[in-house]
Amino acid sequence: MKPVFKILGGVVAAALVLIGGVLLLALARWDRTFDAPLPALHASTDTAVIARGRYLAYGPGRCVECHVATRASAQATPPLNGGATFVLPIGRITAPNLTPDTATGIGRFSDAQLARVLRYGVRPDGRALIPFMEMQGLSDEDLVALISYLRSQPAVRHELPDQHYNIVGKAVMAFVLKPPTVGTPPPVTNPAESDTVARGAYIADAVAGCAGCHSKRSMMDGSYLGPRFAGGMQFEADSGMMFVSPNLTSARVGRIAGWTEEQFVARFRAGPLLPGTPMPWRAFGRMSDADVRALFRYLRTLPPTEADPGPSMKRRS
């Protein structure tokens, strides 16, 4: 038996050495940096451009959902000074201060650095951004509008902790997480309101990030684990309940498959109906009728995916 124990001991020792080596490597490279272009875009002082940026920030772009400490009421426009914290398997992620304060906000960064964050998922320090903001397809026009609005806010000094990654998070940062690949160059201008399906696709994919919640995804690195828009993503609530995102495709089990366009618009105007819902109804309630209708018409074109996520709210097991 001694040779067997000797072999097992050797295997265990080798495994421990391998695990230790991986952990040391993760600790050494978890804060690796990436090269990404700095878009040649600059903030504007044009009031119409700033107004468009404000609409995006408090409406379909839903910046207000994360970049304030508590959720805003339906009509409030609090300063986007950060503070919301998300506890994930990889650590604690805190939304940063987006006001132009030079010590704690975006006043420290150039317009090009801010544009790179949104378009390429690379932070000003070169590290990859956790994929909460999937706005890589945002047009140059809207990217400028959003940056212009953020620059126009009053500066608010608000000290916040940087992202805190546990050992699992550092391993993900070291070996898994990379900036998203930007394929087709984003448009220079937005789709016209008259081209409703194209405009709806732009809102869903580039602005509102609908698939980000209405698809099953990994809580480790944000990768998609199921068909886009087929629902099934789970969100824990403080009440002991679990929210499950519905299927938005044209399949028979799709949540809106039997809805009319008027019903879809009315739902956006109704606001939150379930306490603690992760759906940003307050922000989406500010969307224009034209944008809501365009979104509905685009969702109607999605190929059916017969995946039934079940009820939108259930007790956590």
Q: What is the pLDDT of residues 271-317, one digit of tens each?
A: 999 888 999 999 999 999 999 999 999 999 999 999 899 888 888 76
Positions of E strands within 91-187: 91-94, 164-165
Average pLDDT over residues 192-197: 86
Structural tokens at position 159: 């000290």
Average pLDDT over residues 138-157: 97
SS3 assignment, position 158? coil
Average pLDDT over residues 11-30: 58
Query: Are 26 and 174 a contacting pair, CB within 8 Å?
Result: yes
Looking at residue 188, what is its pLDDT? 96
209 vs 277: CA distance, rounded Å = 17
Average pLDDT of every residue of the chain: 88
Contacts of 251 by beta carbon, 8 Å cutoff, 6+ apart: 257, 304, 305, 306, 307
Q: pLDDT tier at 149 (50, 70, 90 boundaries)? A: very high
Bridge partner list, 215? 231
Against a cut of 0.75, is the pTM above it?
yes
Range scoring the smallest mean pLDDT among 3-7, 67-71, 115-119: 3-7
Chain length of the chain: 317
162 vs 146: CA distance, rounded Å = 23
235 vs 65: CA distance, rounded Å = 15
Looking at residue 5, what is its pLDDT? 47
Looking at residue 132, what is its pLDDT? 80
Range scoring the smallest mean pLDDT among 17-21, 45-49, 56-60: 17-21
Q: pLDDT tier at 26 (50, 70, 90 boundaries)? A: low
Looking at residue 133, what is its pLDDT? 83
Looking at residue 16, what is its pLDDT? 47
SS3 assignment, position 100? coil
- Between 27 and 281, the more confident residue is 281
Q: pLDDT tier at 24 (50, 70, 90 boundaries)? A: low
The domains of the chain, with CATH numbers, are: 47-175 (1.10.760), 196-315 (1.10.760)
Average pLDDT over residues 117-142: 92
Query: Are 286 and 59 a contacting pair, CB within 8 Å?
Result: yes
